[in-house]
Chains A and B, each alone.
Chain A
């Protein structure tokens, strides 16, 4: 266990080192204010983190968490329902396939008119994108369950709720966690776009604002903060996965 942890931590260290090296290389070859040096950025990051950056990051974290949480609850429920019921599948899946590929960011103005300029419209914009990934993933995970496992569960006398508790939900959980991981990545990217409208808080706003004020060091501090936020979110998901799906790695 200790050994694995050490490899893991040194791998992270390796990743950080490589990025910093590349960053220095760019900084010295381009020789422009566009690309501040890593140490300069880091000093700036530490300075502005407690009073400025933290608030922007928390605002973004709140939006991402709300969007992912709502999408998981709604998307998994819908996905399981569609996967378990052939009639519903036939009615709903074609609609999903048509709506899924539409670029939802095109609807940002519409969302702002319908749901206001505040957090709600941003959360809904993220949801409109990641909800589909989660529905389709959980639907397919249910469909992959073999008939034999259903027979096995039914032979023990399971009723419908017990079937979900002991068979369906544990079976789809690892795949849902993968979908959440992808969704978090998508959310961060989408939010960056969404936070350019009608807000003064959020890491997306902070980065774009620093850029328009030609403060590249702050802009890079914001990017650093954003990548740290993503890293922490992925680590949290890993922890949840280890806790809930220990059997996958066993």
Chain B
């Protein structure tokens, strides 16, 4: 699905990403984990077509990435909701922009709000919602466009511990019920292990290690010992990496 070849990105003279090579299989998930400032959000923005690579290329579904792609949806760290639009209009926005018929937009938005349990909030503005609710709306906005590639930037970092796990459960459920490839960026080890079939550990502007996560997909994973073993494994790579 995604092939990243020799990707570098510069912000002025500073290297945000340096010669990244990575491939992600179709209908799988990939969690990119790393300390803040390592370039993981930049990587996500390149995949979304929002940041143009300095060199190298990204091939998605056989075609080279140029600008925003129709089938890609992104959930932003700060939710990316427009404050002047109601929940309903925020979810419908992507469909309106793509000029779907009014009937289709209505039916699709209704369906998505139902799936995410947001029906009762449809006339609220983002400022009237809790963090968890905002994240649901942001996920709804992305899902409404029926993406085959869903990108998520720190899906739960701004939330309290309990809401965080709810959102992570929701993301896994969504992955299981909608056929798509998912790439998420996080600095939370548990989140990476819970949501990443492939876990990419990043250091400054580079990939330190790629792990396959055999435990991925188990909804009750958090109650199992393997989960914590996997977390420790990821932590070791995060802390040291090169020395091992």
Spell out A's residues near B (CB within 8 Å): 148-149, 151-158, 162, 166-167, 170-171, 173, 245, 247, 250
Q: Which listed residue, A148, A153, A155, A250, touches B48 by the CB 8 Å rule?
A: A155
Closest-by-CB residue of A relative to B74 is A155
Known: A157-B94, A158-B97. A247 touches B125 (CB 8 A): yes
Tell me, rounded to whole Å, the shortest Cβ–Cβ distance linking B148 to chain A.
15
Known: A151-B76, A250-B125. A156 touches B84 (CB 8 A): no
- Give the docked Cα–Cα distance between A118 and B97 (Å): 47
Tell me, rounded to whole Å, the shortest Cβ–Cβ distance linking A146 to chain B.
8
B84: chain A residues within 8 A (beta carbon):
170-171, 173, 245, 247
Q: Do residues B80 and A155 form an inter-chain contact, with CB atoms below 8 A?
A: yes
Tell me, rounded to whole Å, the shortest Cβ–Cβ distance linking B70 to chain A.
7
Q: Does B78 contact A (CB under 8 A)?
A: yes
Q: Do residues B93 and A166 form an inter-chain contact, with CB atoms below 8 A?
A: yes
Q: Does B115 contact A (CB under 8 A)?
A: no
Question: Would you mind naming 28 contact pairs between A and B with Cβ atoms under 8 Å apart?
Answer: A148-B76, A149-B80, A149-B82, A151-B48, A151-B76, A152-B81, A152-B82, A154-B50, A154-B68, A155-B49, A155-B73, A155-B74, A155-B76, A156-B93, A156-B94, A156-B97, A156-B98, A156-B145, A157-B68, A157-B94, A166-B85, A166-B93, A167-B82, A170-B85, A171-B84, A247-B125, A250-B124, A250-B128
Q: Does B45 contact A (CB under 8 A)?
A: yes
Of the candidates B50, B97, B127, the one having the most CB atoms from chain A within 10 angstroms of its own CB is B97
- Give the docked Cα–Cα distance between A149 and B50 (Å): 12
- Give the docked Cα–Cα distance between A8 and B68 (Å): 49
Of the candidates A148, A149, A154, A157, the one having the most CB atoms from chain B within 10 angstroms of its own CB is A157
Tell me, rounded to whole Å, the shortest Cβ–Cβ distance linking A121 to chain B.
39
A173: chain B residues within 8 A (beta carbon):
84
B49: chain A residues within 8 A (beta carbon):
155
Contacts of B65-81 to chain A: CB distance below 8 A: 68, 70, 72-74, 76-78, 80-81
- Give the docked Cα–Cα distance between A155 and B84 (Å): 18
A247: chain B residues within 8 A (beta carbon):
83-85, 125, 127
A156: chain B residues within 8 A (beta carbon):
68, 93-94, 97-98, 141, 145
Contacts of B7-40 to chain A: CB distance below 8 A: none
Q: Do residues A166 and B97 form an inter-chain contact, with CB atoms below 8 A?
A: yes
Q: Mark interface residues in B30-65 (1 if CB within 8 Å of A CB, else 0).
A: 000000000000000100111000000000000000
- Give the docked Cα–Cα distance between A152 and B98 (Å): 15
A153: chain B residues within 8 A (beta carbon):
82
B81: chain A residues within 8 A (beta carbon):
152
Q: Do residues A250 and B80 form an inter-chain contact, with CB atoms below 8 A?
A: no
B93: chain A residues within 8 A (beta carbon):
156, 166
Closest-by-CB residue of A relative to B95 is A156
A148: chain B residues within 8 A (beta carbon):
76-78, 80
Tell me, rounded to whole Å, the shortest Cβ–Cβ distance linking A172 to chain B.
11
Tell me, rounded to whole Å, the shortest Cβ–Cβ distance linking B4 to chain A.
19
Q: Do residues A155 and B97 form an inter-chain contact, with CB atoms below 8 A?
A: no
Closest-by-CB residue of A relative to B145 is A156
B124: chain A residues within 8 A (beta carbon):
250
Tell me, rounded to whole Å, the shortest Cβ–Cβ distance linking B150 to chain A.
12
Of the candidates B45, B80, B83, B94, the one having the most CB atoms from chain A within 10 angstroms of its own CB is B80
10 smallest CB-CB distances across A and B, nearest first, come from A152-B80, A170-B84, A250-B125, A156-B94, A247-B84, A247-B125, A155-B74, A156-B97, A151-B50, A157-B68
- Give the docked Cα–Cα distance between A247 and B136 (Å): 19
Tell me, rounded to whole Å, the shortest Cβ–Cβ distance linking B211 to chain A.
28
Known: A158-B97, A247-B125, A247-B127. A151 touches B80 (CB 8 A): yes
A151: chain B residues within 8 A (beta carbon):
45, 48, 50, 76, 80
